[in-house]
Structure 1
């Protein structure tokens, strides 16, 4: 199981310049802690996030580390397919063998506040799937320069049956979000096997909340405080985290706890068939995440 770190470009309590510097420092800490992959998220219309241009962030991080670089996720329904393919191909040529591509429909902010008038909450998934099919058709094509490699792993972030089937039919992996209940993963794997031409199980990228501390009770209090802080930050800017954020957090399914508890859950995820596990920081403070990584690596 490959271990990675999810980078959301958080700028909740800092300036954009300071957040960018801390972002690159966290990339270096991840490498020093023995992680193998940096995963980058795409966010729009979100006052707490700086990760709207994944290719730019991936290029910057790639120059700072030797780690693999993953997108978790790109949002093809919101972009021109050719331009997205060209950005992907350029990164593959800059960092051969180090890229992993994940695709999704986008979250609440991306869909509700988009300036694309044809995108609605009802059709966002179908638009994603339509453009993903176009991207698949461009792999290896000379229409894109540099061309997209057939060897780069692709994943689809979804719990939708049709999207899981699309992934299976094309041999793509699946991504499972940091707040999605693990009980649903079993059904997704079953759907995938049924649709795969050879009945194979998927490569699975699993994202889980991450905060590590030697005091188990303290770490859970810190997680609750961090969610409340971000909720208030969004409220002051006229945004909402939605019903699912905060109250529905499942501590037992996250990597939130003591080093020993985190290791035990990591072993459980591996036994479930997870091939790529990504730690999604709970804290908006990069120093907190760096300290958690160091503690996990030392123990």
Structure 2
């Protein structure tokens, strides 16, 4: 048994959608996962934002957060994250102020600077385009913080006079705001604003040490956050045997490789499809490269690896993306690979 500190576990969900699975079935599986995470004592359950991707159904985090909040009792639910260039700050503030009223003290608003999709979709979401919106990110974060507060925000006109704006009529509290990123920019901005910070290790992997150091060294205490607060994300697959875990990791690993090699996107493959259609040499190299950053195996070994990971980066929480794929014969309204990952891992860390 390890004597290393036990990190709290949280979940990041992209609502993966596989071959032969409808959006409704994928959502059912994800909400079942949220309910089980609540029962197992996970700290948070966050939904990512992605658009126009055949294998990802997490297009609207606020809608999914509301559904998950209704199915759970104590776990924090939130966004990992809302991609701010896609949305007007007032709309984001209104959505999350309403969520906070529905589930007081349980809502997290994770904000990201990337658009989360291709340029065509970005133009459909925000007609002003990505560059100008990304450059305005710090101001928009500040706007959201003010709009969601019980005091609201004040618009001051250059000609004189003011105009008060509130995200909701009578807020009693505000969601917790986190900045997400995989670069120095977000780490430094979170430090300057005195906000919690999450490094997106599940898809970046490089630069984590520098980003965390910049955040901690530059942190300026705020009223809500007198000390820096951060955690990391990680792709995790746990199964009763290492062989099964490695097999269940294959569909997501190959999906990442397809992105890297500019191949057309498709619904997430089943494990059977991966075996029936072997990767070419380039794709296989990306699969192997990504596999080195993942936590895959039996529960006890993965638990020990996550303890060491958290200790190395001095965090008390790890947000896992449970990436276990499915066999073709499994019920499409379930996510057995992802469910057993969280159940087995929670049991091993508690042992």
The alignment's TM-score, normalised by the length of structure 2, stands at: 0.73
Whole-Å separation in 2 of the counterparts to 1:229 and 1:161: 27
Partner of 1:73: 81
Q: Which moved more, 1:77-86 or 1:159-168?
A: 159-168
Check conservation: 2:61, 2:78, Cα contact below 8 A: no
Whole-Å separation in 2 of the counterparts to 1:172 and 1:63: 27
Whole-Å separation in 2 of the counterparts to 1:165 and 1:172: 10
Partner of 2:129: 119
Partner of 2:264: 235
How many residues align? The count is 292
Check conservation: 2:47, 2:58, Cα contact below 8 A: yes
Partner of 1:8: 14
* Residues 120-139 of structure 1 aligned to structure 2 (within 5 Å): 120=130, 125-139=134-148
3-state SS, counterpart of residue 96 of structure 1: coil
Q: Which has the larger radius of gyration?
A: 2
Q: Shift in Å at residue 49 of structure 1?
A: 1.7
User: Is 2:103 the counterpart of 1:95?
Assistant: yes
Partner of 2:35: 28
Consecutive unaligned residues in structure 2, runs of 5 or more: 1-6, 153-165, 268-282, 327-334
Whole-Å separation in 1 of the counterparts to 2:236 and 2:169: 36
User: Is 2:68 the counterpart of 1:61?
Assistant: yes
Partner of 1:44: 51
3-state SS, counterpart of residue 167 of structure 2: coil
Q: Which moved more, 1:199-208 or 1:13-22?
A: 199-208
Q: Shift in Å at residue 204 of structure 1?
A: 1.4
Whole-Å separation in 1 of the counterparts to 2:216 and 2:107: 25
| Aligned pair partner of 1:109 in 107, 113, 117 | 117
User: Is 2:227 the counterpart of 1:187?
Assistant: no
Whole-Å separation in 2 of the counterparts to 1:108 and 1:95: 27
Partner of 1:196: 219
Partner of 1:263: 303
Alpha carbons of structure 1 residues 176 and 246: separation in structure 2 relative to 1, 3 Å:
farther
User: Is 2:241 the counterpart of 1:215?
Assistant: yes
Q: Shift in Å at residue 65 of structure 1?
A: 0.9
Check conservation: 2:234, 2:295, Cα contact below 8 A: yes
Check conservation: 1:89, 1:149, Cα contact below 8 A: no
Partner of 1:254: 294
Whole-Å separation in 1 of the counterparts to 2:105 and 2:184: 30
3-state SS, counterpart of residue 10 of structure 1: coil
3-state SS, counterpart of residue 109 of structure 2: strand
Check conservation: 2:54, 2:265, Cα contact below 8 A: no
Check conservation: 2:233, 2:318, Cα contact below 8 A: yes
User: Is 2:215 the counterpart of 1:174?
Assistant: no
User: Is 2:176 the counterpart of 1:153?
Assistant: yes
Q: Which moved more, 1:212-221 or 1:81-90?
A: 212-221
User: Is 2:310 the counterpart of 1:281?
Assistant: no
3-state SS, counterpart of residue 109 of structure 1: coil
User: What is the CA deviation profile of residues 61-110 of structure 1, one whole-angstrom value per residue up to 9, with x for unaligned ones?
Assistant: 11111111121001111101111101010111111111122111235525
Q: CA RMSD in A?
A: 3.0
Q: Which moved more, 1:2-11 or 1:84-93?
A: 2-11
The alignment's TM-score, normalised by the length of structure 1, stands at: 0.84
Alpha carbons of structure 1 residues 176 and 62: separation in structure 2 relative to 1, 3 Å:
same
